[in-house]
Structure formats: structure tokens, C-alpha cells
Amino acid sequence: MKILYLSQLIPYPPDAGPKVRIYHVLEYLTQAGHEVTLVAFCRESDKPAHIDHMRQLCHELHTVLMRRSRVKDVWYLGTSLLRRRPFLITRDTVDDMHQLIKTLVQQNDFDAVHADQLWMAQYALTAKQEKPALTAVLDQHNATYLIPQRLADSAGNPLLKQILKQESRHMAQFEVAMCRQFDRVVWVTADDKVAVAAAAGKVAGQITGPVIPICADPEAKPAVARAADARRVTFLGGLHWPPNAAGVVWFAREVWPLIHRAAPEALFTVIGKEPPAELQTLNLPNLDVTGYVDDVTPLLQETAVFIVPLHAGGGMRVKIVDGWSWALPIVSTTIGAEGIEYGDGRDIVIADTDPDFAQAVIRLLQEPEQAAQLGQHGRATLEARYDWRKTYRQWDEIYPREV
């Protein structure tokens, strides 16, 4: 099939959840023999070599530069509140992208248009308007409206809480309306499917579409050989994403002091771009904030416990899939592990309160043999359930191969 694939970002390198999803789906579709034209927003920070890599993977690649600023964000927020349209969608509505898609559909004989994430749904519908015969596919990484809803639940500022609640309401309406206009919707988790069904006032069975989880590449990410004296308690993820930043600050303020008292040799390590300034103002002992790191292997080799301390978000946390690929012992909140098949105490430890999370980390610091076994079981779970070469065969239901 000839597929017009729409992405909100350049998915290489696959070093964050959405990128991992997009990159391996593109790998599967191209290896299955489909002709994929990728249209993606790019940023000034995207390296030419990364864009060239994607150009080699796909039949064609077209990009539109995404420009953002805090001044414009204030304007978009006001506009979204007046129009009762989600801020995140209003901010990323770009005329140049709409025009590019119209031109490509007019010039090419595509069979399908694929919107990756809700952000690109409006652009897929632009393609559909130009050619109604196109099969429109939406890949739902999240029940997106849950993200501002959960952030609102934990927000202390009354004004921010109100803005987030309104964003959640507008996003729920938008999300349901978009899903209804697509021929096929693919879900990353069953939980997301249930949540969108609830927002639509339906039972889960009335919302159709397969569940295809985010998967990793066990061949590309081998288990890490951890040092015998590993003492890092490590968080890894983009801290520009509010649920990540909020989770790290919660762990730093409420959980880390409890761990430090019991294990003063442990080192709290935060890896990821744009770390919140609040981390430094807390004056925590044994804190190592690295920012973005190109090669995290040396830090992972020194990691005793890998943490996912999230209380907001949606979809799947690829941090857990990555942690399993590295055979690291993981402690996560319930929301952090949402959408993932796991065995609590077997391949991951789940803890939600301050003392429970702290105690779980302390136990793994003090019992390295148990920690190693947890990591090995996690790696086995990854290989059995989250290897894209096996699991992504389900995409053949959406894009049939030639017989």
C-alpha cells in the first residue's frame, strides 16, 4: 500500500516514547513492502544526520518546521479558552502543514493516511477531504484528555488547576470527535480504549480497533552489565514533559530523603533534557542532574534501581520497556506502569505512597541478588511481549500485505 504517514516529530533517534513507537512502526511497514511517505514536523534542534536517516528508511520524507515560543503560547491559550478548543491542538495547528498535505495528496495516489497521535488527526482529515477514498488510520498513543486531568488533580495553584480541568474537558470532546471520523483507530493500551469510551459515553466494546503496544528492539538494546557496587537510583526521561517533571519533583521532595537516611551511599540521578529548576532549590544530598546524555550506558552500568515515579500521564511508559531491555530492577507507581503487562514483585515493583516507594527502593539497594533477579525477569517479559519484530505483525490487520 501507499501510505501517507503523519508525525509530530522526527522519530530518530528513538530515545523517547513517541519516537520509539513511530520508528519501529515505520520499520515494520517498510519491511512489509509498503511505500511510506513520511510527513513530519521538525525542530531546529533536529540534526541533519537524523533527518537523513529517516529519508533513507522511507520512500519520501517531507518536513515542516515547528516554531514555538512562550509569548505565542499565551496567545494560543487565550484563543483555546475562547474557542473551547484544546490548547495543545490550537498551538500545533500550522497552515503550512495543511497546505503541504493537500499538495501531496493531489500529486500522489495514496491508499491510506496514518495520523500518529491525536496531534496529527486534524491533518489526516485534511488529506481525507482532498481524497475521500483514503483509508484514515489514527494511532492513539494515549487517552490524551487524561493527562491534563491528572495534572489538575495534583496541582496546588487554583488557577492552574482550573485551566487544566478545562483543557481536559475540551480535549475529551476533541478526542472523541476525532476518533469517530477515522476509519480505523489503533490503541496503545486497553486502558486508553476504555477511557475514551467513557468520555464518549459508551462501553468499551462499542469503541473498536486493535490494541498494539509500544515495543522495543531487544537486539539493539542488550542487557546492561551492572557494576557490583552500583549505587545510582536513576530516572531517565524528557523532563520537558510535565508528568515526568512532576513525578521527579515528588520523588525528590517526598521519597528521596527517606531513602538517603537508610542508604546514605545511594546517588539520585536524573537524566533528561530540561530538568525542573525546583530540583536544585531543594538542596538534596547526593543529587546528580545530568541533563540530556547521548550515551547513557555508563550511568546505567552504575544503576542499582531504575525508577518511574509518575502520578500523571497516559498511554504506555516506554521507560519501563527500556528498563526491561537493559535488565534493570524497576520501581514504579501504578500510573507509571499503566498499560503494561507485568507481575508485581516478579519483573517490577509497584509502590504509590511515599513510604512504600522509599521502602521498595531501599530493599533493592540492600538486596542486590533480588534486584538482579527482578531485572532478569523484566528482560524476559520484554522479549516475550514487547519485541516489535513479533508484536507488530498485528499491523498487517490494518495494512494488509500483497498476497
| 120 neighbors 92 (Cβ within 8 angstroms) | no
CB atoms within 10 A of CB 205: 9
One-letter amino acid identity for 214?
I
pLDDT digits (tens, 9 = 90+) for 176-201: 999 999 999 999 999 899 999 999 88
Name which of 267, 237, 262 is nearest 332 in CA terms: 237
C-alpha radius of gyration, the chain, whole number: 21
Q: Given this model, what pLDDT does residue 204 score?
A: 58
Whether the per-residue pLDDT at 203 is higher than 70: the answer is no
Residue bearing the bigger pLDDT, 236 or 151: 236
Burial class (CB in 10 A: 0-12, 13-18, 19+), 228: exposed
Cα–Cα dist 298/224, whole Å: 9
Residue range 148-169: mean pLDDT, rounded: 88
Residue bearing the bigger pLDDT, 65 or 79: 65
Whether the per-residue pLDDT at 135 is higher than 90: the answer is yes
Q: Quick one: which H or E segment has residue 360? A: helix 354-366
Mean residue pLDDT across the chain: 93
Q: Given this model, what pLDDT does residue 99 score?
A: 98
Residue range 63-78: mean pLDDT, rounded: 82
Residue 16's pLDDT band (boundaries 50, 70, 90)? confident
Q: What strands lie across the sheet with 330-332, from one edge to the other?
A: 287-291, 267-271, 232-236, 303-308, 330-332, 349-350
Q: Given this model, what pLDDT does residue 324 score?
A: 96
Length of the chain equals 403
Whether the per-residue pLDDT at 56 is higher than 50: the answer is yes
| 121 neighbors 182 (Cβ within 8 angstroms) | yes
Three-state secondary-structure class, residue 141:
coil
Whether the per-residue pLDDT at 69 is higher than 80: the answer is no
pLDDT digits (tens, 9 = 90+) for 278-322: 988 888 999 999 999 989 999 999 999 999 999 987 778 889 999
Whether the per-residue pLDDT at 62 is higher than 80: the answer is yes
**21-35, 36-50, 74-88, 211-225, range with the lowest pLDDT:** 74-88
**56-65, 298-307, 338-347, range with the lowest pLDDT:** 338-347
Whether the per-residue pLDDT at 205 is higher than 50: the answer is yes
Angle at the Cα of 322 (from 54 to 245), degrees rounded to 5?
95
**129-133, 218-222, 365-369, range with the lowest pLDDT:** 218-222
Residue range 12-19: mean pLDDT, rounded: 90
Q: Given this model, what pLDDT does residue 403 score?
A: 47
Q: Given this model, what pLDDT does residue 383 score?
A: 95
Residue range 345-356: mean pLDDT, rounded: 97
Q: Given this model, what pLDDT does residue 57 score?
A: 96
β-strand 303-308 against 287-291: which pairing, if any? unpaired
Cα–Cα dist 75/95, whole Å: 17
Residue range 52-76: mean pLDDT, rounded: 89
Q: Given this model, what pLDDT does residue 402 score?
A: 67
Three-state secondary-structure class, residue 212:
coil
Q: Transcribe 382-403 into DSSP letters.
A: HHHH-BHHHHGGGGGGTSPPP-
The dihedral region occupied by 341, where left means phi > 0, alpha psi between -120 and 50, and beta the remainder, is: beta
| 66 neighbors 94 (Cβ within 8 angstroms) | yes
pTM equals 0.85
Cα–Cα dist 368/288, whole Å: 22
Give the bridge partners for 6, in sequence order. 39, 115
Q: Which domains does the chain have, with CATH numbers?
A: 2-215+388-397 (3.40.50.2000), 232-385 (3.40.50.2000)
